[in-house]
Amino acid sequence: MLTGELQTLSRDQIAFLIAQGHVLVLHRQLVYRLNAWLARHPGGPLAILHFVGRDACDEIEAYHPEPTLRRMRHFVVGKVDASEYTDELGWKPLVPPVQSLAWSGKADAYQSTPTFAASLAQYERRGAGDSTPVPPQLEPEAPRSSISPEREHKISLAYRALHDQVIAAGLYDPKPLKNYRWELLRYGALFASFVYFYTTATATWQYLLSAFSLGLFWHQVTFVVHDAGHMEITGSHRWDRLLGICIADFIGGLSVGWWCDNHDVHHIVTNDTQHDPDIQHMPFFAISPNFFKSMRSTYYDRIMEYDAPARFFVSIQHKLYFLVMMFGRFNLFALSYTFLATKAPRGFYRNLEMTGIAFFWIWFSLLLKGIPTTGLRIAFVMVAFATTSPLHVQIVLSHFAMSTEDVGLYESFASRQIRTTMDVECPAYLDFLHGGLHMQVTHHLFPRLPRHNLRAANALVRQFCKDQDLRYHIYTFSEGNSRVLGVLRDVANQVEVMTKVASAHAKGEIEH
């Protein structure tokens, strides 16, 4: 806690404390100890654990409003030694334990860590001083040839200036009544259409038109859930989470808690094949040959097996892509309920979500019961769920065709988001079709920014990319999907080549 003179901590001391189990994160040269906050963090523990030993200034300020930043100071335990933070390079990162081979996969292991004072005393008793080397598992690899730490630090400083511009322009000011007035009319019209065709249906086509309207309604209101998950609507975590639960759980049967836990990790380790759950879709999809290694997912805490079923599906993934997207909602149900049953923190929000899920299945089951035949009920479900598929296409479109290269820990937040994300060209009058997801670069740089202000901020982002010589990726919806299919096809072709090589090798062994 910030009281009186702060203790100065060297990089060696910080590394020693991290090795002892302390969750230490840097922000503006202050050191935060977050062990006690892991289980309570609204974005889940992994969003914190991926920044242990790192300067998380850009990420912290992108994700947290000023009142939260002030409350966070209660967790400050020291400040970085001035010699360890230079104007040219900033802070030299340490490897977060969650990203090392030694990671146990259990975030609750940090709850039994010795006190901060006891660990510091242990450091001094061992005569550590300045000569104690950083534990090898915490020392990062040398920067890749494509990464200049000096340039990345300059980009980080420029991003902070850009963020100040966005704030000064008032683009963070939530104006829910103004922003959502036309949206509410659209949602109401779609819901009314669903109800009308359902209650007056006397023919198959009327039931299917009702299902189509329900699917469009789900598709549109899901954008509001995305807004709520990022606190874009009111700026209040509590009110936005309650609104998200009302829509996602009670109306859609999905868990907003799962979405936030998953999505916040995606935002901070975007397109990292080992850490980003949003690109981990084995055995059906692999957007990088890295998945051929049967990697362990730090989010799912399991091995993503590259086995016979995976080889089969990945070899034809470009042919299955749109078919799988049509029924992506079934996967969202599975992920939501698994999260609520096994991972969600026990408490008010989980209980409310469980109530919401039960409520959804009651009203949806009664809805299906009112349809005259089993075949028509199945068709109703398929049409309603398939109608939401453009949302799933839009979600993966932003990242599937982008870089999955691991360039190390020296890359700045802004560089990573721009490198791994694409935008979709769209006239302003069609923004509602995409729900803001077509301006993903700006959204990833400023995740709390209300989506109705993304277009204004996007002009600043484009200029920022020019000034910093960063390539800004934007394509038409058709071009973007073509690029995604191209990546899927390329990886599928590699499976075919590897299979042929393995087969030829096996035959050679038999002949010998």
User: What tokens does 110 get?
Assistant: 């940090």
**pLDDT score at 255:** 97
What whole-number distance in Å separates Cα of residue 361 and Cα of residue 373? 19
Q: What are phi and psi of 411, to 5 degrees?
A: -65, 140
- Residue 189 CB neighbours (<10 A): 14
Please report, rounded to a whole number, the percentage of residues in the chain having pLDDT higher than 90: 82
User: What tokens does 44 get?
Assistant: 């889940």
**pLDDT score at 466:** 98
**pLDDT score at 100:** 81
Say how far residue 240 (Cα) sits from the centre of its chain.
18
At 359-374, the pLDDT tens digits run: 999 999 999 999 999 9
| Pairing verdict, β 296-297 and 302-303 | antiparallel
**Buried b or exposed e, range 21-55, using 16+ CB within 10 angstroms:** ebbbbbbebbbbbbbebbeebbbbbbbbbbbbbbb
**Residue 167 half-sphere exposure, CB side, CA atoms within 13 Å?**
11
Coil vs helix vs strand at 287: coil
Mean of the per-residue pLDDT values for the chain?
A: 92
Residue with tokens 């302003």: 428
User: What tokens does 76 get?
Assistant: 């400050």
**pLDDT score at 512:** 47
What whole-number distance in Å separates Cα of residue 292 and Cα of residue 97? 24
**pLDDT score at 57:** 97
Q: Which residues are bridge partners to 424 per DSSP?
A: 475
Q: Which residues are bridge partners to 297 per DSSP?
A: 302
What whole-number distance in Å separates Cα of residue 55 and Cα of residue 90? 8
**pLDDT score at 399:** 96
Q: Which residues are bridge partners to 90 per DSSP?
A: 86
Q: Which residues are bridge partners to 475 per DSSP?
A: 424
Q: What are phi and psi of 475, to 5 degrees?
A: -140, 165
Q: Which three-class secondary structure string do you get for 204-251?
A: HHHHHHHHHHHHHHHHHHHHHHHHHHCCCCCCCHHHHHHHHHHHHHHH
pLDDT tens, residue order, the chain (512 aa): 555 678 999 999 999 999 989 999 999 999 999 999 998 899 899 999 999 999 999 999 999 999 999 999 999 999 999 999 988 999 999 999 999 865 555 656 666 666 767 666 676 666 555 556 677 888 888 888 889 999 999 999 999 999 999 999 999 999 988 989 999 999 999 999 999 999 999 999 999 999 999 999 999 999 999 999 999 999 999 999 999 999 999 999 999 999 999 999 999 999 999 999 999 999 999 999 999 999 999 999 999 999 999 999 999 999 999 999 998 999 999 999 999 999 999 999 999 999 999 999 999 999 999 999 999 999 999 999 999 999 999 999 999 999 999 999 999 999 999 999 999 999 999 999 999 999 999 999 999 999 999 999 999 999 999 999 999 999 999 999 999 999 999 999 999 888 777 666 656 654 54
| Pairing verdict, β 30-33 and 24-27 | antiparallel
Contacts of residue 281, Cβ cutoff 8 Å, sequence gap at least 6: none
Coil vs helix vs strand at 79: strand
**pLDDT score at 144:** 84
Contacts of residue 180, Cβ cutoff 8 Å, sequence gap at least 6: 224, 233
What whole-number distance in Å separates Cα of residue 380 and Cα of residue 108? 44
At 119-141, the pLDDT tens digits run: 666 766 665 555 566 778 888 88
Torsion of the alpha carbons at 255, 241, 105 and 113, rounded to the nearest 10: -150
Which helix (H) or strand (E) segment holds residue 80: the answer is strand 76-80
Query: What is the reported pTM?
Result: 0.92
Coil vs helix vs strand at 142: coil
**pLDDT score at 136:** 80
**pLDDT score at 113:** 67
Nearest to 229 by CA among 217, 242, 220, 216: 242
User: What tokens does 323 get?
Assistant: 């078919």
Q: Which three-class secondary structure string do you get for 363-403?
A: HHHHHHHCCCCHHHHHHHHHHHHHHCHHHHHHHHHCCCCCC
What whole-number distance in Å separates Cα of residue 14 and Cα of residue 257? 32
C-alpha distances (whole Å) from 415 to each of 397, 406, 461, 478 are: 19, 13, 12, 26
Longest CA–CA span in the chain (Å) reads: 84
**pLDDT score at 206:** 97
At 307-356, the pLDDT tens digits run: 999 999 999 999 999 999 998 999 999 999 999 999 999 999 999 999 99
